[in-house]
Chain A
Amino acid sequence: MTHIVEMKGMNKYFGKLHVLKNIDLTVEPGEVVVIIGASGSGKSTLIRCANGLEEYESGKLIVDGHPLAPKGGNQKALAEIRKEVGMVFQQFNLFPHLTVKKNIMLAPMKVKSTPETVANATAERLLNRVGIGNQADKYPSQLSGGQQQRVAIARALAMEPRLMLFDEPTSALDPEMIGEVLDVMRELAKEGMTMMVVTHEMGFAREVADRVIYIHEGQIVEQGKPDDVFDNPQNERTQAFLSRVLAH
């Protein structure tokens, strides 16, 4: 079986700061990997490397069969990878000047030259799927945070990605809207989407993840099945982190 993501001895620096240290990580098709860790531990940086939003300095990174050289080397591979990897951001990053539907239609039409009628139909189908089919012609600012994030998921799905990256998708949401976004993600996981999720939602991680990875100061210090990691963490750093986040 070919890996969707393969990171080998990957290192990343911000100036002198060593943010990712010797990362070895593979993600298999259909797998849901949840990455947890304290803020500043490098977990967001890790998934941002997987679609080249961050360059890395040394090691190896292969995404869906495309090797991506260090320091943003090969533009062709980068373009291919970005077509195949979708991303959902903490701040949604919807395009405020476009309607919800146009947000979703933009990339298929520009990148894949999808005809407008087809892109339109896809957008409507995806909006129904994330439960906001009736908001298609509104602008993002007219939607609630939860609805905006669901549009962002639909927008990424419109490119039919092989892998979806979620960078703290519920961290900017009011508590009552977190559930609706997690529901959509849960559905996606059930349908077999390969996902890498950075989140603080431990309940979601335990329920949906095939594997939980704990990152501490740029290093993967522990990984395993959610029940093992949450109930019986081996590393003392993981224990300390989990006792802090699960205590309340």
Chain B
Amino acid sequence: MDFSFQFDWQAAIDSIPFLLKGIPYTLLISFGGLLIGFVLGIIFGLLSINKKWFLRWPATAYIEIFRGTPILVQVLFIFYGLPDLIGSPINPLTAGIAAIALNSGAYISEVVRGGVQSIDKGQSEAGLSLGLSRTQTFWSVIWPQAFRRMIPPLGNQAIVSIKDTSLFSVIGVGELVRQGQIYIANTFTAFEVYFVVALLYLAITLSLSMILRFVERRGLASV
């Protein structure tokens, strides 16, 4: 048997234009999903610390279900299962965005809950004692401080969600991994192509890390 293996640089470079076509989908699913997930996270995160049990329980149920089941199962359920229920097919892109939104929303709910609960009780007491309503105290005093503390874990979640989109190759979204699979099917250059795919993910996540670190430093400097 011949174990000698040569990394074929030309094959790697040749694959790039085709792989790049997957990036817009990867970014659209990630950031579209995360944006909705952020809204869901604020809503359910705040509901999960509400004093009223009938608001708290459904929120907690949502968080536990979507944190406690694999995102791959979630997206398969949305793409193959839900159409049976609603009677019409769901396009893979929508299914992907929905899966990221619901999944990241559950994690972001926990980030929101933790951020809000980390703010000292004295802060809300000060707000209330000045005559601010509970709502005013929350949005003017608690939330701005909590949000600053949420930036690092939110960045973490964004990176996790970006990588999770790679799973959606199974429902046929033309994202990065799917593009790679198609390309390899024709060229049989798996090693080179997946190497490039990995590098492209790294480029996205590293850029995001750098932006977040910058935002974080700006945000904390003013406290």
A residues with CB within 8 A of B: 51, 53, 79, 82-83, 85-87, 89, 91, 93-97, 106-107, 110-111, 139, 141, 152, 155-156, 159, 165
Number of interface residues of B (CB under 8 A): 20
* Pairs A–B under 8 Å by Cβ, sample size 12: A79-B131, A89-B125, A91-B120, A95-B141, A96-B223, A97-B144, A97-B222, A106-B130, A107-B130, A110-B132, A111-B136, A155-B130
Q: How far is the CB of A72 from chain B (nearest CB, A)?
A: 12
Are B125 and A93 closer than 8 Å at their CB atoms? Answer: yes
Are A97 and B148 closer than 8 Å at their CB atoms? Answer: yes
A86 to B126 CA separation, bound complex (whole angstroms): 9
Are B140 and A106 closer than 8 Å at their CB atoms? Answer: yes
Are A156 and B125 closer than 8 Å at their CB atoms? Answer: no
Within 8 A of A (CB), among B67-87: none
Q: Is B91 an interface residue (CB 8 A)?
A: no
A71 to B8 CA separation, bound complex (whole angstroms): 76
Q: How far is the CB of A167 from chain B (nearest CB, A)?
A: 10
A110 to B120 CA separation, bound complex (whole angstroms): 21
Among B126, B129, B141, max chain A CB count under 10 A is at B129
Are A53 and B128 closer than 8 Å at their CB atoms? Answer: yes
Question: Per-residue CB proximity of B20-59 to A under 8 Å, as 1/0?
Answer: 0000000000000000000000000000000000000000
Q: Is B156 an interface residue (CB 8 A)?
A: no
A107 to B140 CA separation, bound complex (whole angstroms): 10
A80 to B50 CA separation, bound complex (whole angstroms): 25
A125 to B123 CA separation, bound complex (whole angstroms): 24
Are B126 and A93 closer than 8 Å at their CB atoms? Answer: yes
Q: Which chain B residues border A111 with CB–CB below 8 Å?
A: 130-132, 136
Are A97 and B223 closer than 8 Å at their CB atoms? Answer: yes
Are B136 and A110 closer than 8 Å at their CB atoms? Answer: yes
Q: Is B205 an interface residue (CB 8 A)?
A: no
Q: How far is the CB of A127 from chain B (nearest CB, A)?
A: 16
Are A110 and B140 closer than 8 Å at their CB atoms? Answer: yes
Cross-interface CB contact of A82 among B123, B130, B141, cutoff 8 Å: B130
A89 to B125 CA separation, bound complex (whole angstroms): 9
Q: How far is the CB of B65 from chain A (nearest CB, A)?
A: 34
> Given that A89-B122, A95-B126, A97-B222 are contacting pairs, would A83 and B131 also be in contact in the complex, using a CB cutoff of 8 Å?
yes
Within 8 A of A (CB), among B115-147: 120, 122-123, 125-133, 136, 140-141, 144-145
Q: Which chain B residues border A89 with CB–CB below 8 Å?
A: 122, 125-126
Q: Which chain A residues border B123 with CB–CB below 8 Å?
A: 93, 95
A153 to B126 CA separation, bound complex (whole angstroms): 11
Q: Which chain B residues border A165 with CB–CB below 8 Å?
A: 129
A93 to B124 CA separation, bound complex (whole angstroms): 9
Q: How far is the CB of A190 from chain B (nearest CB, A)?
A: 24
A152 to B127 CA separation, bound complex (whole angstroms): 12
> Given that A93-B122, A96-B223, A97-B222 are contacting pairs, would A86 and B129 also be in contact in the complex, using a CB cutoff of 8 Å?
yes
Q: Which chain B residues border A85 with CB–CB below 8 Å?
A: 129
Q: Which chain A residues border B222 with CB–CB below 8 Å?
A: 97, 139
Are A107 and B128 closer than 8 Å at their CB atoms? Answer: no
